[in-house]
Structure 1
Amino acid sequence: MPAKDVLAAGVVVFRPGKRVLLVHRPRYDDWSFPKGKLDRGEHVAVAAVREVAEETGLHVRLGPPLAGQRYAVSGGRMKAVSYWVGRAVGSDDVSGYRANAEIDRVEWVPYDEALDRLSYEHDQETLREARPLRRPTRAIVVLRHGDARSRKAWRRQDDRLRPLLQAGRQQAQRVIPVLAAYDVTRIVSSSSTRCVETVAPYADTTGWKLELEDGLSEEAASAEGVVGLVDELLAADEGSVVCSHRPVLPTVFDALGVRDPKLETGGLLVAHVRKGQVLATEAHQIH
């Protein structure tokens, strides 16, 4: 049986002026993007943001995803690296970075110079792919609630009160750093308990307001109301999450103008938006 790939994640971070963030590794004497291996059980998007913070000191939000890289590493194994375009949240100043044995230089480099300085052809290809996607975007995350008690096992008359199972509560905890990776600051949820319990931990952790909408519930949703909400989020200048139910989600995706990915419970789709237009999407499953 072939060895499993070494999984890693990184970010091509831009700032105004078509400058890209590069790091130098003294052990290999090479220039590359900030990246690193996933911790055990870590979500790939969370790993990407964490690695940038550890290697450069910057907190970033993820923008559109890029094509992954896969190449041979020592020991006869392959490394698979997932990449995103990213932007700094807050200050992008790296002048105070302290060199260490792993990363001894962190620099903002003009695009053309970065192409020459990057040590590997696969990184040069990734930078070329990232260039047209470098402008800031915001994320609209469409989230299906976590694993909930079955309708059959729920004996109360009001299905809106049906809660999450323990597995669903674990999904609610695991989605916290994923939403943070996309800099979600607006939280909109169906008023049904299973949706509220899915996003309440993120609201509690971040302090962002949790907005409850009856119009996102199975019982009260209307196409007009869902379209109005999505139009509002498309026009907004902040990252957002919408938590709803399987019967309602096709209307949400239709309003966004994207294909329905048929999310499982705990699944999410990230739509990357600029000037009201969806530029890219990606789907993830939270286990």
Structure 2
Amino acid sequence: MLRPGREVLLVHRPKYDDWSFPKGKLDRGEHVTAAAVREVEEETGLRVRLGRPLSSQRYTTSKGRKTVHYWIGRALDSDDVSGYVANAEIDEVAWVPVDKAARLLTYPHDRETLAEALEEPRRTRTLIVLRHTDSRARRSWHGDDRVRPLLATGRRQAERLVPVLAAYDVRRVLTSSSTRCADSVAPYCLATGVELELLDALSEEDARPRKVRKLVRAVIEELGASGPAVVCSHRPVLPDVFAAVGLDDAGLEKGELLVAHLRGDRVVSVERH
């Protein structure tokens, strides 16, 4: 967690008498991105959104090898931690100037993570590209392909996308008007109140390369004002979506997404989930 003024959020754990970053274990079936924002809120009281990823930490503990995933995070609302109530797990939460934090952090791997975050601390903007979740096979569907539905597995995937998109605080949802795409992101819109933008221009039937690229470039230009966005479409359309972002086609599987972190119109980091 970083905030203006070159300060970083640290926590003190009385059990170990150490200063470190907020972190914790995955709940059963939980995605790493959802766990990251949940643990920060539980340990500090702050709601955050994820920015660009940092290198994962891998080290040995008494229980074996451990991997910890990190992102640069920003507070969604207030970043005030003065009202935090100490407990047995975390007894102090503090915003610390980064030069002091480098001395206060207990572990070398945390100091390395801080140094990596400070190499480029400027904010990024987030665009997520999503391929729709599992749908009924084309060969087994005899109706209008635009209304070909999701399978039960696809509906479950769509529900599991909700906390992943929420971890990036997605504020805009643009999707092909085809049922299988719209239903892939509808649970997130229902859960958050974000408007579902149905676009024929992102459908297999109506997509045209130049129009798709123009549309996506416009979305990128508006990220600063609109906030993080997701674009959901089909395998044949996605190469043009990626081209507009400045990336090669990622070959996403159904229900898979790529998170592009941009500074200006340049991609500085990507994640795949």
Q: Quick one: which amino acid aligns to residue 133 of structure 1? A: E
Secondary structure of 2:139's aligned partner: coil
Q: Are 2:261 and 1:275 aligned?
A: no
Alignment match, 2:72: 85
Q: Are 2:135 and 1:154 aligned?
A: no
Gaps of 5+ in 1: 1-12
Q: Percent identity?
A: 61
- After superposition, the C-alpha distances for 1:243-266 in whole angstroms (9 at most, x for unaligned) are 000001111111101232211000
Which residue among 93, 96, 113 is the counterpart of 1:106? 93
Task: Spell out structure 1 runs of 4+ moving beyond 6 A.
Answer: none
Which residue among 163, 172, 193 is the counterpart of 2:149? 163
Q: Quick one: which amino acid aligns to residue 51 of structure 1? A: E
Q: Measure the CA separation in 2 of the matches of 1:51 and 1:180.
A: 14
Shift, 1:51, TM fit: 0.4
Q: Are 2:117 and 1:130 aligned?
A: yes
Q: Measure the CA separation in 1 of the matches of 2:25 and 2:122.
A: 27
- After superposition, the C-alpha distances for 1:22-61 in whole angstroms (9 at most, x for unaligned) are 0000000000000001111110010000000000000111
Alignment match, 1:262: 251
Gaps of 5+ in 2: none
Q: Quick one: which amino acid aligns to residue 29 of structure 2? A: G
**More displaced 10-residue stretch of structure 1: 228-237 or 171-180:** 228-237
Q: Are 2:89 and 1:94 aligned?
A: no
Secondary structure of 1:122's aligned partner: helix
Equivalences for residues 137-216 of structure 1 within 5 A = 137-156=124-143, 158-216=144-202
Q: Measure the CA separation in 1 of the matches of 2:241 and 2:221.
A: 15
Q: Are 2:108 and 1:121 aligned?
A: yes
Alignment match, 1:26: 14
Question: Given that residues 261 and 283 in structure 1 are in contact (C-alpha distance below 8 angstroms), is that contact kept between their aligned partners in structure 2?
Answer: no
Q: How many residues align?
A: 270
Q: Quick one: which amino acid aligns to residue 240 of structure 2? A: T
Q: Quick one: which amino acid aligns to residue 193 of structure 2? A: G
Shift, 1:74, TM fit: 1.7
TM-score with structure 1 setting the length: 0.92
